[in-house]
Chains A and B, each alone.
Chain A
Amino acid sequence: GDSVTQMEGPVTLSEEAFLTINCTYTATGYPSLFWYVQYPGEGLQLLLKATKADDKGSNKGFEATYRKETTSFHLEKGSVQVSDSAVYFCALTVQGAQKLVFGQGTRLTINP
């Protein structure tokens, strides 16, 4: 079946550090890929997405590139801020199936 695997957390970094959160997927069809973020006390919100191979999604300084050859969609940010502290979820949908399949989530804490 379709699945998403994220690097295990929690991840703790200092402000201005470089961030990578790994995400790989298994899908029976051609998936669209997403990163969702859940800030403390808030609901899930879409951070970025990519719908075809080699697409790069970007938002708020975060980037992720859809790599079909490695079935990956790693999240990166060049310089993290304390306000980036949140739980990050990688997810996919497969054509013809509307549900989101989520990874287990990665808790990120940024220290000043």
Chain B
Amino acid sequence: GAGVSQSPSNKVTEKGKDVELRCDPISGHTALYWYRQSLGQGLEFLIYFQGNSAPDKSGLPSDRFSAERTGGSVSTLTIQRTQQEDSAVYLCASSLVSGTSGSYEQYFGPGTRLTVT
């Protein structure tokens, strides 16, 4: 079946502009995660959605970052007033069930490469 998809695959934006990144999780997966992969910081957790529960936003680096998940499926990560340090690959992942054991496999999308000029 279809995996996690993300769009766009590449985004170049000017400093100060807002950007929206989209993630389509695997159908039926109730948990959705955003991560960021950058040269300086490695792979970092940003935010996590599980069903109708309040999202875990503990990884968002500043209030310029926000995310929403509509209808328990598609998610959008928004970065306002982009800065050069926001340049990174933004990865989305989904998992079937997010149980307390934490052992459910997360399936990753191909990522969106964001470049802020």
Cβ of B52 to closest chain A Cβ, rounded Å: 15
Chain A residues whose C-beta falls within 8 Å of the C-beta of B70 in the assembled complex: none
- Asked if B65 is an interface residue, CB under 8 A from chain A, the answer is no
- Asked if A100 is an interface residue, CB under 8 A from chain B, the answer is yes
Which A residue sits closest to B59, measured CB to CB? A99
Q: Which residues of B contact A (CB under 8 A)?
A: 4, 31, 33, 35, 42-45, 48, 50, 56, 58-59, 91, 93, 95, 98, 100-103, 105-111
A43 touches B108 (CB 8 A): yes
Q: Which residues of A contact B (CB under 8 A)?
A: 31-32, 42-46, 49, 51, 89, 91, 93-105
Which B residue sits closest to A91, measured CB to CB? B43
Give A99 to B95 CA distance when docked, in angstroms: 11
Chain A contact residues: helix, strand, loop or mixed = strand
B56 touches A98 (CB 8 A): yes
Pairs A–B under 8 Å by Cβ, sample size 10: A42-B110, A43-B111, A45-B108, A46-B106, A95-B100, A98-B50, A99-B33, A100-B33, A100-B35, A102-B44
B110 touches A96 (CB 8 A): no
